[in-house]
Amino acid sequence: MFNIALSGISSSQKYLDVTSNNIANANTIGFKRSRAEFADIYSNSVFTNSQTAVGMGSYNTSVSQQFAQGPLSGDTGNNLDMAILGNGFFIVSNDLNAAGVTASVDRAFTRAGAFQISKDGYIVTAQGDYLQGWDVNEDGSSTSLDINGTHAIKIPEDTGAPQMSTYIGIGVNLPADQDVKDPAAFDPKNPSTYNCSTSQTIHDSLGRAHTLTYYMFKSEENAGNNTSTWTVLTFVDGQPVDVADTANKDSVHVNVTSGNSSVQGNNYYGFSMTFGPDGKLVADGMIPESLHFANDAAGLNSQRADGVAADLSDAMGGGIDPAQDLQLNFEASQYGSSNFTVNKSPYNDGFSTGLLTNVTVDENGVIQAEYSNGRYVKIAKVALADFANPQGLSKIGDTQWKQSINSGEATPKEANQGGAGAIKGAQLELSNVDLTTQLVDLIQAQRNYQANAQSLQTQNTVMDSILQL
Domain residue spans of the chain: 2-68+434-467, 82-159+380-425, 167-348
pLDDT at 305: 62
pTM of the model: 0.69
- Comparing C-alpha atoms, which of 435, 434, 427 is closest to residue 72? 427
Which DSSP state fits 213? E
pLDDT of residue 10: 82
What is the per-residue pLDDT for 302?
Answer: 58
Nearest to 364 by CA among 169, 137, 172, 202: 137
Determine the pLDDT at residue 304: 66
- Looking at the DSSP assignment, which residues form a beta bridge with residue 270? 252
Specify the fold of 167-348.
Answer: Tick-borne Encephalitis virus Glycoprotein; domain 1 (2.60.98)
Query: CA nearest 80: which of 35, 131, 39, 142?
Result: 131
Strand partners, 60: 38
CA neighbor of 112 nearest in space, from 98, 94, 131, 137: 131
The residues of the chain scoring below 70 in pLDDT are 1-2, 42-55, 96-105, 158-160, 296-307, 337-338, 460, 462, 464, 469
- Please spell the DSSP secondary structure of 321-390, one letter per residue: -TT---EEEEEEE--S-SS-EEEEEEEE--B----EEEEEE-TT-EEEEEETTS-EEEEEEE-EEE-S-G
Q: Give the three-state DSSP class for 52.
A: coil
